[in-house]
Structure 1
Amino acid sequence: MKLREIAHSRTGDKGNTSNISLIAYRAEDFEKIKTAVTAEKVKAWFADIVTGDVVRYELPAIGALNFVMYGALGGGVTRSLALDMHGKGLSAAILDMDI
C-alpha cells in the first residue's frame, strides 16, 4: 500500500534543512506508520538529495511523525538551483512510499 492511502503530509524548511510531517488520517493507522516509516527508510527514500542525517520525532497525541532532514535542499533556498528550492514537493514524494 502507498503511504498516501493512510496519511497526509506537510513540509517546511529552514536553510538547508527540510522537515516533513506524516499525519495519519485515522488514529488506528498511526502504529502502522510508526513501524513502517523509520528515519533510515526516509533517508534511503531521499538518498539522491539528503546529504546529512534524518531525525524522526514522534507525536502520538496527534498521530504524526516529523522527519528533520539535514542537508536536503541543495545548500539552502538562496543557494540551490533546484526548481523546488523550498522542498514543498517532498511531501508528495514521501506519500508515494510503499509500506
Structure 2
Amino acid sequence: MKRLDDYADARAGDKGDTLIVAVLPRTTVDYHHLRTRLTATAVARHFRCDVATVTLREIPAVEAFVAELRGVLGGGVTGSPVLDGHGKTLSYHMLTLPLEDAEDDSPSAEPPHLMHPVPAQLEP
C-alpha cells in the first residue's frame, strides 16, 4: 500500500494546542492524485483523534493542503510535558498515512525541486 510519503512532503507547526501540517505534493499529478485520497477522515483515523477536531483545507493556488488538528499537542509548547510541544516531528507521522486505492498508481519520478522552481533573484 502506498503512503503519503510516496507523493508529498510535509512540514508541521503549531498554534497553541493545534497542530498545523502543510502537505506539499511533489508534482501536479501527485496533487490531483491526493485530492481524492487525502481526507479529514483519513487524517483523523491516522492520528487517532475525533474527525470533528480535524480541518483539511486545499490550497489550489500552490497545489497543497493544510491540515489543522485541534487538541493534539497536549497543551501546546507552554503546557505540554512532552519533548516536542511544537509537534514538528508529527509531520513525519503524517507522511506514513496509508492511501486507499493507491496500489496501482505510481508516484511521479520527477524530483521535488522541479515542481516549484525557485525564482531567480531580482536585481536591485
TM-score under structure 1 length normalisation: 0.90
Determine if the alignment matches structure 1 residue 23 to structure 2 residue 30.
Answer: no
Determine if the alignment matches structure 1 residue 34 to structure 2 residue 35.
Answer: yes
- Counterpart CA distance in 1 for 2:89 and 2:57 is 21
Q: Which residue of 2 aligns with 1:64?
A: 64
Decide which structure has greater strand share.
1
- Counterpart CA distance in 1 for 2:7 and 2:42 is 17
Equivalent residue of 2:35, what SS?
helix
Q: Which residue of 2 aligns with 1:2?
A: 3
Partner deviation per Cα, 1:39-93 (whole Å, 9 max, x = no partner): 111111111xx46610011111211010111101001111111121110011101
- Gaps of at least 5 residues in structure 1 are none
- Gaps of at least 5 residues in structure 2 are 100-124
Q: Which residue of 2 aligns with 1:53?
A: 53
- Counterpart CA distance in 2 for 1:39 and 1:72 is 15
- Counterpart CA distance in 2 for 1:57 and 1:98 is 19
Equivalent residue of 2:96, what SS?
coil
- Counterpart CA distance in 1 for 2:97 and 2:58 is 19
Deviation at 1:27, TM superposition (A): 0.7
- Counterpart CA distance in 2 for 1:4 and 1:69 is 19
- Counterpart CA distance in 1 for 2:3 and 2:40 is 17
Residues 59-98 of structure 1 correspond to what in structure 2 (within 5 A)? Answer: 59-98=59-98
Which segments of structure 1 move beyond 3 Å, counting only runs of 4 or more?
A: none
Q: Which has the larger radius of gyration?
A: 2
- Counterpart CA distance in 2 for 1:91 and 1:76 is 16
TM-score under structure 2 length normalisation: 0.73
| Aligned residues: CA RMSD | 1.3
Identity fraction in percent: 36
